[in-house]
Structure formats: C-alpha cells, structure tokens
Structure 1
C-alpha cells in the first residue's frame, strides 16, 4: 500500500506541475471606451495578435472616459484606456496606483467643442451653458479653449453631461456647446446647425491617448509591457498593409460609416509599438504630463499638487534597484 501511495503521490505531483506549466497566463482586463485610436486593441484581438504574443486579455467595453475611470477605481479591471487627464486624476487619488503602459496616439483635432452656429467662436460662449464630463478630458479641453481666448471656466456655466447624453442635450437646447469626441462628435456634426469652435489641433500633443495598467498587476506580470508593445506594433503594421480591412472592422465597432471613421482616424497621430520604450521614458512626455497636471491642479480637478507624477512612469528593473 505504501509503495502504491508513493507512486500515486509522485504521479499526482508531476501532473500538477505539467498542468501549471500549461495554464494560460492570468487574464489582463482592460476597460476601453469608444475612440478611433483605442479600436486598434479590438482589431488586435480579432486578428489574434494578443494570443500570438502570449498575452491573455479581455477588453471590457464601457461608454465613456469617465466610465473607464469608474470601473478601474472600483477594481473591476486591471487597466484602462484614457487620456493623460484621467490617468493623472486616478494617480492623485492614491487608491490604485497605475503605470502608463502604452501611448496609442496624439489627438490632432478629434477632441472638440461643438456649438450651435449662432455661436461663431469661443468668445461667444461667455455667459452660456456648456456641457462636458467634468471628471475627465472634457473639462480640460474646455479650460484650454477658453484660456486661449482670455476666458476662464468662471465665464461659462458648466453642466455635467455624459457623452451618450450630449446629442440629446444639444438638440433640446439645454446646452449651447458640448465637449466631445468620435463617435459622438461625428454624429453631432451631421446636423448642419452645429460646428466646431475649438479642437485639440489647437493644443498639439497635450491630449495624449494612453493605456495604463495597475502597478500591482505589472509587479506580478512584468513581461506585460513588452508583450503589449509587440501587439501594438503588429496591429500598426496590419493597418499599414491592410488599411481597407482594418478601417472596416474598426468602423463597425464605433458604429460609424467607414469614410467617417477613416476621417476621425486621420485626426490622430498614431504611435508605433517599436518606439514605446523610448516614448514613455522620454522627458517630453514627462514634461507634458507635468503641464497637464498643473492645469488640473489650478482648476481644482485634482485635490493635490503634482508631486506624484513621476510615479506614473515605468522604471526598468535595472533602474529601480
């Protein structure tokens, strides 16, 4: 009996070790909101690029940038798509520290303030009600647009309006302008009564679109960053070599016509996977992040000064020792 038990135990132990070796990697759950640049992640998943690099990922679809913040802070996901603004706000809370894992693109006009044509420019917004998501990108774009024309947030009435409610609020006349981005901006501009009075092309490289991952996840899975960069490069190359297929697939996810999606995508300065290590560690990004954070601090969108910003950036193992 003893011999049989010993063999049984040995066999069971070997089986356990083999099983563990073949277990799939822990799922990385990323919250993703509608935005042309982020759809590259869905394209990568559909084409099998995550599987190809050994990265087990689940993309959790939500409605807006504010929603990506909420699900991340509520510990429902391991990471999120966002702009620098949302990432800075999350880091300021010091609840679930994150690391910037990927720069997807720079917005060169995709984020916009759209108003009724009776409002000919930003200065006409003085005394008017403007809709925006007050806890995310919108408040920053609005502040910068007003600042560019010697106005401030105190010169307008701000109404908190989620992206999915923006068209309804504009059509009812409850707001005079709305801060938005594709696909909502694309639909809104189909109404000939509306036009763009300010967009992110006027603040180049300030609206940086990124993917961030919790520091606790990356500590357990330090290989994730390089794998994610590999996936992004494969996707980037696929878009270059199969643009029609790529645009068609991504447009469907955004609920847009291919031509409309392509126009929106062309308002982005997409970044490659091969350059991510350099981009994320470069002083330029750190400087932009400090600048954006300083603005958020001045308009009271965060409740502490920006000493935490350096903690948002990945430190290679040899630098962190």
Structure 2
C-alpha cells in the first residue's frame, strides 16, 4: 500500500493543504495449489507484502486444481505441462506466464538395492501416480537406458501409497516424491535409483492463468513476478526468518522446510528467461524441449491423437518475463 505525503503550498499568506489521491485498492489474486516446498518464494513474498497491489491469496486444494482455473473459480494455479497441453487441446485458453520451480531430487525412482540400474526395471511392476510428472520421470529415465514405458508394467497409485507398496513387498521399484522418498530410502534395503536432479527442468511447477485474466489485469503479472523474485532474494538474505514463514505455510517445522527446500530450485530471472525463450546458456531443459517430451509421452499414452499438434506459443506467454530487468 503506497503512502502519500500531504503537499503543503503557501499561497501569499494562506496555507492550503492539498489532499493526496487515494491509494490504489488492492486486487487479491487467488492461486490454487497443494502443499509444496517449491512455492517457498510465493509464501515469503505474500508474508512480506512484496506483491504490492496484487496480493496472492492461496487456495489449498488436493484435487481439482486444473478445473478450478479453467472454470474461473480461481485466478491462477500451479499447473504441470501436461495439464496445460491438455487444456489447450480442449479449447481452454490457459497460459503459463512464469516458471515457479523445477525438481532437484524431489522426485525419484526408488528401488531395492538389488536393482542397480534403470535397465534392471525391464519387466518389473512399477507403482506410480500416472496422472502426475512421475510418469514423465520414469519415461525419461527409461529412454536414457534405451527402454520405453512398454518395457515395464506401470500401475496407477497415489504417490503417498508407493512407500507402503515397496516396503510391503508388493513391488521392487516405484516412483514418488518428497517427503515420501525418504520413507523408502530410510530402509537400508532401498535406495534412490534415479532422481530429477539428473534432469533439471524436466519436472516443473508453472504459474498459469487464463488469458482473460491477463487482459483484465495487465499489471498483475509484472507485480507477481517482481514479488516472487524479491521472495527468492529474501530467502537467501534472511534464511532463518524465511524458513519459519515457509514452515508455517506448509505446516512443517522450519528445519524441515530448510531440508525440503534443497530438493527444488526456484529459477532466477535469467534462468526463467532461458526456460521460456531459450535465450541464454544454462544446464536446464527449456520449455520447448519439455513440451516435446511431454507431448511424446501423451501420444504414447493415447492422451493426444496423432493429428493433434501443440506449439509453444499456444502454451506460454513469455512477454512478462522477457520485460523484466
């Protein structure tokens, strides 16, 4: 909220006090999300009021996030690349306007230690959440080992149930994410076979909105991106305070927030520009390559017809990131 000083002008012997214009009313921006450490800069920026006239109001949802932003019941949401692709093909004009984070070990293929390579997964039953990026991580790892999803037996299961399936002896390997990974690797008979740290930029969280929101509120995204970047900087300069804020937002201790935050990376502005436009030189999978990988997987799974095509301009609006300095 801006503050204005009274302007006092002395006219002859009379003092006239001119009232300042009213401060701009805040326009809250609703953001649908589940509990995830990657949103740390958003939590900090909201707490420190870095978003200015566009404060974010978090709407916690375990399911239905995509439907909420498509229907307009929320202004913005964290959406995965496959969700945005699917929305576009269904005729919904949803755009990614900012990368939020990419996984840096927060997603993993976990397996018994007798499984020493991804190639050893051939023919094995692999429990994972097939509606999530877990399938993309598995497909990517298999491709690196010259295998495909057809070489394993994927079975759909919530990520939170994967540890019980493995520890109970129902499978020798599975795909899940933090904090469920440590529930498996805490057992000396299991290890992380392949993690997202080996594919930076593959698994991303993305700030997505309807284009109607962008047209109605042209100043919102510049304010949110600026606030997000300030939130990143604040975490670095005030870690103890920040992890307290993040922990409170997620219902975990500051120590757990600090530990979990190491498993994701929030891109800085040059990295954001590279991810969205390909401009620069970073060891991150850019959105263009990400779209190609996700589209290929969705075709293999029958979610996209062979005659349907997707291009990056359909999915991203990079002008807000590109304009930031």
TM range (shorter): 0.7 to 0.9
- Which deviates further from its counterpart, 103-112 or 209-218? 103-112
Q: Which residue number in structure 1 is paired with residue 173 of structure 2? A: 177
Q: Which residue number in structure 1 is paired with residue 158 of structure 2? A: 162
Q: 1:279 to 1:153 in 2, by over 3 A?
A: closer
Q: Which residue number in structure 2 is paired with residue 15 of structure 1? A: none
Q: Is the 8 A contact 2:275 2:287 kept in 1?
A: no
Q: Tell me whether 1:54 sits opposite 2:56 in the alignment.
A: no
SS of alignment partner, residue 307 of structure 1: coil
* Pairing of 1:90-109 with structure 2 (within 5 A): 90-94=87-91, 96-109=92-105
Q: Is the 8 A contact 1:34 1:182 kept in 2?
A: no
Q: Tell me whether 1:148 sits opposite 2:144 in the alignment.
A: yes
Q: 1:254 to 1:191 in 2, by over 3 A?
A: farther
Deviations along 1:128-182, one digit per CA (max 9) or x if unpaired, are 2212221221111111111111221112111111233333333333343232222
1:122 to 115, 118, 122: 118
Q: 1:301 to 1:246 in 2, by over 3 A?
A: farther
* Pairing of 1:1-321 with structure 2 (within 5 A): 24-25=26-27, 27-50=28-51, 53-63=52-62, 67-73=64-70, 75-94=72-91, 96-254=92-250, 256=252, 258-272=254-268, 276=272, 280-282=276-278, 285-300=286-301, 302-304=303-305, 305-314=308-317, 316=319
Query: Hey, which of these two has a bigger chunk of helix by percent?
Result: 1
Measure the CA separation in 2 of the matches of 1:237 and 1:24.
Answer: 24
SS of alignment partner, residue 182 of structure 2: helix
Q: 1:123 to 1:59 in 2, by over 3 A?
A: same
SS of alignment partner, residue 115 of structure 1: strand
Q: 1:234 to 1:283 in 2, by over 3 A?
A: closer
Measure the CA separation in 2 of the matches of 1:182 and 1:225.
Answer: 29
- The answer for unaligned runs of 5 or more in structure 1 is 1-19
Q: Is the 8 A contact 1:281 1:313 kept in 2?
A: no
Q: 1:146 to 1:277 in 2, by over 3 A?
A: closer
- The answer for unaligned runs of 5 or more in structure 2 is 1-21, 281-285, 321-325
Measure the CA separation in 1 of the matches of 2:181 and 2:210.
Answer: 30
Q: How many residues align?
A: 293
Q: Is the 8 A contact 2:110 2:191 kept in 1?
A: yes
Aligned residues: CA RMSD: 3.0
Q: Is the 8 A contact 1:186 1:260 kept in 2?
A: no
Q: Which residue number in structure 1 is paired with residue 5 of structure 2? A: none
Q: Is the 8 A contact 2:295 2:304 kept in 1?
A: no
Q: 1:258 to 1:115 in 2, by over 3 A?
A: farther
* Residue 279 of structure 1, CA deviation: 5.1
TM-score by length of 1: 0.78
Measure the CA separation in 2 of the matches of 1:97 and 1:169.
Answer: 39
